[in-house]
Every structure is written in C-alpha cells, then in structure tokens.
Copies of this chain bind each other. A is one copy, B any other.
Amino acid sequence: MTFTTRTPRIVAARRLQKRKDRDQGGRFLAEGPQAVREALAAGVVVELFGTEAALVRHGDLALQAPVASAVTEDALEALTETVQPQGLVAVCEQVDVTLSEALAKGPRLVAVAAEIRDPGNAGTVLRTADAAGAGAVIFAGTAVDPYNGKCVRASAGSLFHVDVVRTGLDVVGELRAAGLQVLATSGYGADDLDTLLDDGVLAGPTAWLFGSEAHGLPRELLDAADRQVRVPIYGGAESLNLAAAAAVCLYASARAHR
C-alpha cells in the first residue's frame, strides 16, 4: 500500500511542519538522503517515508529505519519543503538536551545563538560550530526553532552531531560555572580577536555568544560576558554577516585549541 496525502500517518507527519505541533509532539522532519542517514546514525528515526523509486535507490537507509513506507509523489511533496528532496523524508525524535546535560560533558568550545530568528543563519552557525569542534550549540532566548525545516537543512546534519540546547537568555552564569570563559561578539567590542589569539586568551575552554545580524546581542548578555570581542575589519565593510563572523571566531578558538 502506497500512502497518499490523505493517509492519517501522512496527515500527522505534515503537522510537524508547524512549530506548535513539533513542540507538542517532540518530533520533527528530516528531508533528503543525507539528513536521513545522519538521523538513522543518531538513532532518532521513528518512521521513514519515501517514493518507491527512492526506497529502492536508498535501500540501505530503508532497511535501517524502524518503519519504512512508500508514499506517492504528491504525499512526498506535501511532506517536504525543498524542490528536490530526493524522495525521502523521516519523522525523527527531537534531539535537544538540557544545558546541564550538555555542560556535564565538559565541552571546550560552545556556541550560543542568542535571539537568532533566521533559520538559515541558525542552521549555518550549527554547521560551522560542529566543523570547528564545538561540543554544544545553545539556542537562547526567542531564537528560531532548531527543528524548523530550513534550519535542519542549513545544518547539513550537524543537528545530529553536537549537543543542541534550547534555553532562556540567562545562560552566562551556568557557562562560567562549567569552566568556560564567555566571549560576546560585538562590532564595538574592546578586544580584537587576533590580539586575543596572539595573547593566548583563546587557549582555554570558551563559549562564544552570537546575536542577530540586525540587532546584535541583547545588552544583558554583552554585560554578563567576560569580554566583548570584535572581529577586525581591514577593508571598507561595516561588518561581517553572522555566518562569516561565527566562522572566524569559532575557527580562531579551534586553532588555539589544537
């Protein structure tokens, strides 16, 4: 039996495109073979849906899923947001942990995305933090839902590699208590990133705070951090975009931690 857009399990899965239903159900959707592969490796796939062609082409993935069901092209399209989801979408259990759980593992590099509402930016920070070796990424305050489809896609699987935490804005005390120095990024920061790297300041365990491109970090986080750090601007640009600034800061820490 091939599931259609009217099959109750498809109707239920479609609801996961809405944040409210994701929050209530504790589940989300991962599209495409790469994300499905990562979700299976993380052991969080509840059910896999695919077109018949895709389930044959990705037979290894279909075999690993607890349940794999064939769906019509229409049903697949209804479940996915990308133009070419390559025929697969998985219903997954949400993976986030509490801040205490993430910090108990003693991560030496942490990224905090504070009040970041753009899902593409948030997913890119997640991917970049993972690449730089961060152990945890914290979505703080009124941030985008990490299970938003666009964020999941932009994270390119990193949602399944690092500890993801959802919490309020008041994180600095707990980060510091876990032995992390807390560095807030700001275009007007008193400390220059390259100077901190030269002076060995980045060698210790570090949590980086990143704010939205439009508004920067909330004042309370700037004030609570140990330092306010600016990425030096050598040319005529006023600033870097969020993804670029996060990459430069996180890789400066990764370099200092080698």
Please state if A234 and B247 are interface contacts (CB–CB under 8 Å): no
Query: Which residues of A in the span 216-258 have a Cβ within 8 Å of any Cβ on B?
Result: 231-241, 243-248, 251, 254-255, 258
> CA A244 – CA B124 in complex, angstroms?
8
CB closest chain-B residue, reference A213: B156
A141 interface hit (Cβ, 8 Å): no
Cα distance A235–B134 when bound, in Å? 7
Q: Does A128 lie within 8 Å of B161, measured CB to CB?
A: no
**Total copies of this chain within the assembly:** 2
Contacting A251 at CB < 8 Å: which of B124, B127, B160, B248?
Answer: B248
- What is the minimal beta-carbon distance from A155 to any residue of chain B, in angstroms? 9
Given contact pairs A194-B258, A241-B243, A235 touches B124 in the complex (Cβ within 8 A): no
Check if A131 is an interface residue, CB within 8 A of chain B: yes
Contact with B along A130-158 (1 / 0, CB 8 A): 11111000000000000000000010111
Is there an interface contact between B194 and A237, defined as CB atoms closer than 8 Å?
A: no
Q: Is A162 among interface residues, defined by CB-CB distance under 8 A?
A: yes
Q: How far is the CB of A248 from chain B (nearest CB, A)?
A: 5
User: How far apart sit A129 and B248, CA to CA, in the bound complex (Å)?
Assistant: 13
Give the nearest-CB partner of A253 in chain B. Answer: B234
Residues of B near A255 (CB, < 8 A) are 194, 197
Q: Considering residues A232, A234, A238, A243, which has the most beta carbons from chain B within 10 angstroms of its beta carbon?
A: A234
Give Cα A246–Cα B243 distance, bound, in whole angstroms: 11
Instruction: Show the binding face of A for B, using Cβ within 8 Å.
Output: 124, 127-134, 154, 156-158, 160-162, 194, 197, 231-241, 243-248, 251, 254-255, 258
Contacts A131-B244, A156-B239 known; 7 new A-B pairs at CB < 8 A: A127-B237, A131-B240, A133-B235, A134-B235, A157-B237, A161-B237, A244-B247
Supply 7 A–B pairs (Cβ within 8 Å), ascending by A: A124-B244, A127-B240, A134-B235, A158-B237, A160-B236, A194-B255, A241-B243
